[in-house]
């Protein structure tokens, strides 16, 4: 069966589901879809957008879910070659290797295939954890969130895998700026670990990660909820300080540079928090971050260390936007954001790109308001295309993205 024939078959199944769930005749369904009853099912199996929107409305499903079903997103898992002789553990190890080398597209594809042969809930959870990691690597954080949520709906899941999926969900929520849900998920995890300390030393990585996500969620909430900024700042400081202590110890024990990068990111976030708490002057924190991020990247710097430098640029930009104006603001932000964008491009980090685009536009608006002039906002062709992609990845960025695309003048490469 061809791909087009498979799509047509799946679309036919959705139409039958519509009739069954609504109790409608074929003619009644055709009226709802604005179709001729004799041509209810498009020959191509690839319907136009207006058809998909009407179909989603009848089903009361999100449009994206309808599209996923038509294109086989929810059934590809069963398409693993039945003659495959590798064990489940062998297949998981294969996905882990793809993750290690950063082949995230194949991570997602392989994970979806393997899920079809998972024989227990825990095996399926292992697959979904890796699928979520693949989506995260591709900058598709909504998809990562959905994979974690599917995993958490598996009945009878082992405690360890449920905790991993909850932490995965919390990080996706944080990245997407769904800060209240992220905080709530972290609170559940932190409380559980308080009552159930891990038996193995290596499992302290999970506690450190929860503190990392919760601390940075609180750091963002300082600005989002100014009426509670001091409370969020103090809680964030406690979490990140504890996370730093744990990551430093774990880095020494396991000689894992990735953990060193997490600790470095925490220290940068703690500087931003200390400014809000009055523990350090903004200028002092900015100069410290400015000197650190001015150093050139070397071949010895791991990806996680480079990423931590990029986030320190973002933390410095946050401080500058809150406490500086005029030429000083422009000087710091120009340096920080240029370096952050360089690192984001090296690592293909969409979360960092979104922050850079948002802050560059904020700087433009600040300068326009300060000077009272209609200043041109100029971006490159590459940034123009990236902004559109970032809008798809970050629902919270869409309003800003539309403003950028509306106002920006695009320079030719």
Nearest-Å Rg of the Cα atoms of the chain is 24
User: Minimal CA–CA distance to 111: which of 125, 152, 156?
Assistant: 125
H/E stretch holding 410: strand 409-411
Full DSSP string of 16-60: HHHHHHHT--HHHHHHHTT--GGG-S-TTS---HHHHHHHHHHHT
Residue 278 falls in which region: left (phi positive, over 0), alpha (psi -120 to 50) or beta: left
Rounded (10°) CA dihedral 151, 154, 159, 161 = -30
Sequential pLDDT tens for the chain (413 residues): 677 888 888 889 899 888 888 889 999 999 999 999 888 888 777 788 889 999 999 988 888 788 888 887 654 444 455 435 578 999 999 999 999 889 999 999 999 989 888 999 999 999 999 999 999 999 999 999 999 999 999 999 999 999 999 999 999 999 999 999 999 999 999 999 999 988 887 789 999 999 999 999 999 999 999 999 999 999 999 999 999 999 999 999 888 878 999 999 999 999 999 999 999 999 999 999 999 888 777 766 666 888 999 999 999 999 999 999 888 999 999 999 999 999 999 989 999 999 999 999 999 988 888 878 888 899 999 999 999 999 999 999 999 999 999 999 998 75
Write the DSSP symbol of residue 302.
-
Tokens at 27, concatenated: 């003619």
User: Minimal CA–CA distance to 337: which of 399, 379, 390, 376?
Assistant: 379
251/231 Cα distance (integer angstroms): 30
Q: Phi and psi of 349, rounded to 5°?
A: -95, 105
CB 169 within 8 A of CB 185: yes
Q: Give Cα 263 to chain centroid, integer Å.
A: 20
**CA dihedral (344, 346, 350, 354) positive or negative:** positive
255/249 Cα distance (integer angstroms): 10
Top-level class of domain 3-74: mainly alpha
Three-class DSSP category at 409: strand
Tokens at 18, concatenated: 């519509």
CATH for 78-162, options being 1.25.40, 1.20.120, 1.10.3470, 2.60.120: 1.25.40
User: Minimal CA–CA distance to 279: which of 237, 240, 320, 243?
Assistant: 237
30/14 Cα distance (integer angstroms): 13
Hey, which residues does 379 pair with through a beta bridge? 410
233/215 Cα distance (integer angstroms): 9
User: Minimal CA–CA distance to 258: which of 204, 309, 305, 214?
Assistant: 305
**Domain positions in the chain:** 3-74, 78-162, 163-346
400/170 Cα distance (integer angstroms): 24
273/24 Cα distance (integer angstroms): 58
Alpha helix locations (H) across 295-325? Answer: 303-323
CB 400 within 8 A of CB 393: no
Full DSSP string of 65-114: HHHHHHTTTTTGGGGS-TT----HHHHHHHHHHHHHTT-HHHHHHHHHHH
46-51: Cβ within 8 A, 24+ apart: 46/4, 46/7, 46/70, 47/11
CB 171 within 8 A of CB 215: no
Tokens at 116, concatenated: 């079809």
152/162 Cα distance (integer angstroms): 6
Say what the pLDDT of residue 220 is. 98
226/127 Cα distance (integer angstroms): 40
């Amino acid at each position: 069966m061809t791909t087009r024939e498979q799509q047509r078959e799946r679309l036919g199944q959705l139409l039958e589901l519509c009739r069954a769930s609504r109790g409608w005749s074929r003619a009644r369904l055709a009226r709802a879809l604005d179709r001729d009853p004799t041509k209810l099912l498009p020959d191509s199996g690839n319907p136009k957008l207006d058809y998909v929107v009407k179909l989603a409305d009848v089903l009361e499903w999100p449009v994206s879910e309808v599209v996923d079903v038509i294109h086989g997103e929810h059934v590809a898992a069963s398409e693993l070659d039945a003659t495959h002789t590798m064990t489940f553990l062998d297949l998981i190890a294969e996905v882990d290797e793809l993750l290690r080398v950063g082949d995230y597209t194949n991570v997602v594809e392989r994970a979806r295939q393997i899920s079809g042969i998972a024989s227990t809930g825990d095996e399926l959870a292992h697959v979904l954890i890796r699928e979520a990691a693949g989506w995260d690597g591709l900058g598709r954080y909504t998809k990562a969130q959905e994979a974690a949520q599917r995993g958490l709906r598996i009945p009878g899941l082992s405690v360890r895998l449920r905790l991993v999926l909850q932490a995965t969900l919390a990080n996706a929520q944080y990245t997407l700026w769904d800060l209240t849900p992220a905080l709530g998920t972290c609170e559940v995890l932190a409380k559980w670990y308080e009552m159930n300390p891990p038996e193995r030393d290596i499992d302290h990585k999970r506690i450190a990660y929860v503190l990392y996500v919760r601390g940075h969620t609180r750091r963002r909430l300082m600005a989002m909820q100014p009426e509670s900024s001091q409370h969020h700042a103090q809680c964030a400081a406690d979490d990140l300080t504890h996370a730093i202590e744990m990551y430093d110890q774990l880095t020494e024990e396991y000689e894992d540079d990735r953990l060193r990068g997490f600790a470095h990111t925490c220290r940068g976030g703690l500087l931003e928090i200390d400014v809000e708490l009055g523990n350090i002057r903004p200028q002092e924190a900015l100069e410290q971050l400015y000197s650190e991020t001015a150093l050139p990247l070397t071949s010895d710097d791991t990806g996680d260390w480079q990423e931590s430098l990029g986030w320190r640029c973002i933390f410095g930009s946050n401080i500058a936007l809150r406490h500086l104006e005029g030429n000083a603001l422009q000087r710091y932000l120009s340096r920080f954001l240029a370096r952050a964008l360089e690192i984001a491009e090296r690592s293909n980090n969409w979360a960092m790109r979104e922050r850079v685009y948002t802050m560059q536009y904020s700087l433009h608006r600040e300068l326009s308001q300060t000077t009272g002039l209609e200043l041109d906002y100029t971006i490159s062709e590459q940034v123009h295309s990236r902004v559109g992609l970032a809008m798809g990845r970050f629902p919270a960025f869409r309003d800003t993205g539309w403003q950028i695309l509306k106002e920006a003048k695009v320079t030719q490469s």
